[in-house]
Amino acid sequence: MNYFKKIIFTVFLFIGTTTYSQDPHFTQFYSNPLALNPAFAGSARCSRVAFNYRLQWPELSGGGYKTFSMSYDQFLNTVKGGIGFNYMYDDSHNRPLA
C-alpha cells in the first residue's frame, strides 16, 4: 500500500499545469482572518463571514487590478477546533499601461 501512495504522489507531482500567482494586497488585511492565517478558523467560537475588495489603480486604461476575498469559518465543538473556507479572486491579467 505504501508503494501505491508513492506512485500516486509522484503522478500528482509531475502533472503539468500552468499557474500564475500574485499575492493580493488589502489595506485592511486583518479584517479577514482566514486570508491572514488559515489556523484562525474557529477562533471566534461563533460563525464568521468576512469580505474584502480592492480596486487598485482604476485610472488605468484596462480598469486597474480587481481583488476580492471572502471567507467563512465556524467553531466545531465535536473536534474542539474550527473549519472554514476562503475564496479569492484576483483579476490582474496583462493590462496595457496608459
pLDDT in the model for residue 3: 80
| Residue 13 covered by a domain | no
Reduced to 3 states, what is the DSSP secondary structure of residue 66?
strand
How many structural domains is the chain composed of?
1
Cβ 58 vs Cβ 41: under 8 Å = no
| Residue 21 covered by a domain | no
Cell 474542539 maps to which residue? 80
* Phi, then psi, of 37 in degrees rounded to 5: -160, 115
- Domain hosting residue 42, numbered range: 29-98
Cβ 26 vs Cβ 32: under 8 Å = yes
Query: Residue 38 is placed in which grid cell?
Result: 488559515
Summarize pLDDT for 14-61 with one digit per residue, the tens: 776 666 666 777 888 788 888 888 899 999 889 999 999 988 887 777
pLDDT in the model for residue 27: 80
| Residue 66 covered by a domain | yes
Annotate 14-74 with DSSP letters as a single string. T------------TTGGG-HHHH-GGGTTTTSS-EEEEEEEEE-TTSTT--EEEEEEEEEE
| Residue 24 covered by a domain | no
State the pTM of this model: 0.65
